[in-house]
Structures are given as structure tokens and as C-alpha cells.
Structure 1
Amino acid sequence: MSMEYRLRRTLPSDRAAIIMPVDHGLIFDRIEGLETPSAPFAAWAGNDVTGFMMTPGQVKQTEKFFAAHPHLTRVLTIDTYNEFRELDGGGSHDLITTVEEAVRMGVDAVKMLFPWNMSRHERVQICARVGRVVASCDRWDIPLVLEPVIMGAPRTQEVIEEEEKVARIAYDLGAHIIKIAFPGEERTKRLSEELKVPLVIAGGPLSGPPSETVDAVAQTLRGGARGVIVGRNIWQRDRKTGEETLAEIAKLTRNVRFQD
């Protein structure tokens, strides 16, 4: 399979992608709405999502399901970060599997965190780690979704500006897709136009009424993002509200096209 084939599966041209993340167990342990890690796939696959972001354990346990639903894409999380609540350089990051293993498992893309609230030494180490993963991804023709993030920090203007700076480092390290928490419509547009690398915008933790989530997605798409990564703002709501919110998001994503 070629890089272009996997990119087009992950980020289709005829709509914006809706990738539902359910990989939270790597950091959060047991989380509300994800008590049974294999449950979200059958529960939400029929609600117009294009794929899922998942752990190695979930990939192994759901092979039959995805074989029966080949239109759904799988993005494999290949790393972990702990302790995510410490904001002053106390966290630690490393890989949990390899790009080669991801290719063997047949997924469409791999995903890594790119946390920046770490010591200077660990920043250098994680840049080197990302560089090695990018080289493996290029060798195996599988895209890397890299996520610049200030872990555990409140969404202050300072944090948003810092994550935008780190997104540019992600570009220079060779990320094929950049996943970033919503920085606002104008910043999304500027990053899309200047970096010319596909952006996907993360929905983050459950917060606010559904209308805020839908409005953020609308701004995201107007800013030129190729898709949204939305999970807890869907599956941590009551089922009816989650379905209605996802349906509104899906309608927005089907109203855009990309020239690939």
C-alpha cells in the first residue's frame, strides 16, 4: 500500500473526516463511557464516523468487526505519556509499539503525542524519537498523525499560542498529519495555509453544551482543517444527545470537499 492510499483512507477528499478517539485507556485507565474498551466501535460505527483512533489491544480485539466494516479507518496510537497531570516537566513519554507492527496489523495511520511541557532534555529526546518514527513511516508508507500538546494545562491564550509554535516543530520533524486542540478559526486557517500539512482538530474533554462543540467544528472546517477528532464530547453525553450532536457534525463534514 502506498502513503497516498493510506492518507486518502484516513482523510478522504469528498468530505472532512470524523475520527472518534477511544484510546484514552493508555493514559486515563478506566474512564467513564469507555468502561468496556471494545464497545464504542459497534456502538458508534453507524453514526457516520469515518474511523477510530485506538490502542493495540483494541485493534487486536476488533479485527472481525473492522473486516466486516472496511470503510472505517483505524489510526493506531503507538505511544503513551505519564504523569499527564504534572505541568512542570514531570511527565515521561515513550513508544509502546513500532511502525512495523502497525503495518503488520493493517491499520491506516499511526498517532503520537508530542507533549512539550517537559524538561529540555526530554524535549530533545522526544524530537529524536519523532524523527525515528517519521523515518519508519516514510519507509513503510504509513502516515504519522503527530499531536503537539501542553499536557493537562487549561486552555489559556498562552497555552494556545505555545501549541501553535509546537505545531510548527511537528511540521519540521516531518509529520504527515498534525492533530491540534482547536486554536480558533483564524489560527487554524493560518496553520493550514502556511504549513500546507493536513490538520485535524481535537475535540478535547467533555465540556459545554453540544452547540459549542458543533460551532467549534464549523469554525474548524472554515479554517481549512481536514477533519475532527471528537470522542468524549460525543460518547460521554447521554446517548440521544451524543447522536444528535454527531449527526450535526457529520452534516457539516459532508458539506466540504478537498482538491487532492
Structure 2
Amino acid sequence: MSMEYRLRRTLPSDRVAIIMPVDHGLIFDRIEGLETPSEPFAAWGKNDVTGFMMTPGQVRQTARYFAANPHLTRVLTIDTYYDYREMDGGGSHGLITDIEEAVRMGVDAVKMLFPWNMSNAERVAMCTRVGKIVNECNRWEIPLVLEPVIIGAPRSEEVIVHEEKIARIAYDLGAHIIKIAFPGEERTRRLVEELKVPLVIAGGPLAGNPADTVDAVAQTIRSGARGVIVGRNIWQRERSEGEKVLADIAKLTREVKFDD
């Protein structure tokens, strides 16, 4: 399978992708709404999502379900971290699988964090690690979703500006898709226009009322992003409310087509 094939599956041309992340167990242990890690797929797969962001354990345990539902894509999380909370804090980041194994499992893309609240020496090591992964992804023709992030920081103006700068480093390292927390409509549009790499926007933890979530997605789509990553803002809500939010988001994503 080619890079182009996998990119088009992950980010379709006839709509904005809705990728539901359910890989939180790698860092959060047992989390509300995800007590049984294999349940979200059958529970939400028919609610107009385009795919899921998953752990290796989830990929292996749900192979039969995805074989029966080939329209759904799988983005495999290949790393984990513990625990960056402050600049130059003593966190640690590492890989939990490799690209050859991801291809063997048949996933459509891989995803990796790009945390930046670390020492300069750790930043160099991080860039070196990402560079090697990009090379492996190019070799095996599978896209890398790279996520620039200041982990644990409040969404202050300073953090938003900082993450925008890190997104540019992610571009220079060769990321095929960049995942970033929503920096606002204007900044998202600027990143889309300047970097010319597909952007997907993360919804983050459960917050605000449903209308706020839908409005943020609407701004994201107007800005030219290729996908929205919405998980806890859906599956941690009461079921009927979560279904309504997802239906409203899906309607917005189907109003856009891309010329690729």
C-alpha cells in the first residue's frame, strides 16, 4: 500500500475526517467512559466517525470488528510519556512499538507526541527520535501524525503561541499530518496556508457545553483543517447528548470537500 492510499483513507477528500481518540489508557490508566478499552468501537463506529486513534492492544483485540467495517480507519499511537508538567521538568518519552509492526498490523497511520516542555538536550533527542520515525514512515509508506504539545499547561495565550511555533518544527522534521490543540480560527488558517501540510485539530478533555464544542469544530473546518480529533467531548457526555454533539459535528464535516 502506498503513502497516498493511506493518507486518503485517513483524511478523505469528500469530507473533513472525524477521528475518535480512545488511546487514553496509555497515560491515564482507567478513565471514565473507557473502562473497557475495546467497547468504544462498536459503540460509536456507526455514528459517522471516520476512524479511531488506538493503542496496540486495542488494534489487536478489535481486528475482527474492523475487518467487518473497513470504512473505518485506524491511527496507531506508537509512543507514551510520563510526565511533563513544567519547562525543564523531569519527564520521559519513548516508543512502545515500531513502524514495521504498525504496517504488519495493517493500520492506516501512526501517531506520535511531540512534547516540548523539556530541556534543550531532551529536545534534541526528541527531534532525533522523530526524524528516525519519519524516515521509517517514508520507507514503509505510512503517514505520521505528529502532535506538538506543551503537556499539562493551561491554554494561555503564551502556550498557544508556543505550540504554533512547535508545529513549524514538526513540519521541518517531515510530519505528514500535524495534530494540534485548537489555537483559534485565525491561527489555524495561517498554519494551513503557510505549512501546506494537513492539519487535524484536537478537541481535548471534556469541557464546556455542547454548543461550544460544535462551534469550535465549525471554526476548525472554516479554517481549512482536514480533520477533527474528538473523544472525551463525545464519549464522556451522557449518551444521548454525546450522540447529538457527534451528529452536529458530522453534518459540518460533510459540507466540505477537498481538491486532492
Do both proteins adopt the same fold according to a TM-score greater than 0.5, normalized to the shorter chain?
A: yes
CA contact (8 A) 1:38 1:58 kept: yes
Q: Which amino acid aligns with 1:47?
A: N
Q: Deviations over 1:8-28 (max 9, x none)?
A: 000000000000000001111
The 5-angstrom pairing of residues 59-208 of structure 1 reads: 59-86=59-86, 88-208=88-208
CA contact (8 A) 1:182 1:220 kept: yes
* Corresponding residue of 1:37: 37
CA distance in 2, matches of 1:89, 1:224: 35
Q: Deviations over 1:115-165 (max 9, x none)?
A: 000111111101000000000000000000000000011000000000000
Q: Deviations over 1:170-220 (max 9, x none)?
A: 000000000000000000000000000000000000000010000000000
Deviates more, 1:79-88 or 1:6-15: 79-88
Deviates more, 1:202-211 or 1:89-98: 89-98
CA contact (8 A) 2:134 2:174 kept: yes
CA distance in 2, matches of 1:44, 1:90: 37
Identity of aligned residues (%): 81
* Corresponding residue of 1:9: 9
SS at match of 2:76: strand
CA contact (8 A) 1:112 1:144 kept: yes
Provide TM-score, normalisation by structure 2.
0.99
Q: Which amino acid aligns with 1:246?
A: L
SS at match of 1:213: helix
CA contact (8 A) 1:87 1:153 kept: no
Deviates more, 1:80-89 or 1:60-69: 80-89
Q: Which amino acid aligns with 2:190?
A: R
Cα 1:235/1:122, change in 2 over 3 Å: same
* Corresponding residue of 2:22: 22
Q: Which runs of 4 or more aligned residues in structure 1 lie more than 6 Å from their structure 2 counterparts after TM superposition?
A: none
Q: Which amino acid aligns with 1:251?
A: K
The 5-angstrom pairing of residues 204-219 of structure 1 reads: 204-219=204-219
CA contact (8 A) 1:27 1:84 kept: no
Q: Which amino acid aligns with 2:258?
A: F
The Cα shift of 1:85 comes to 4.2
CA contact (8 A) 1:177 1:198 kept: yes
CA contact (8 A) 2:51 2:75 kept: yes
Q: Which amino acid aligns with 1:18?
A: I
The Cα shift of 1:89 comes to 2.0
- In structure 1, the gaps of 5 or more residues are none
Q: Deviations over 1:71-123 (max 9, x none)?
A: 00000000001014455422110100000000000000000000000111111
Q: Which amino acid aligns with 1:195?
A: L
CA distance in 2, matches of 1:45, 1:206: 20
CA contact (8 A) 1:188 1:223 kept: yes
* Corresponding residue of 2:230: 230
CA distance in 2, matches of 1:120, 1:84: 14
The Cα shift of 1:259 comes to 0.6
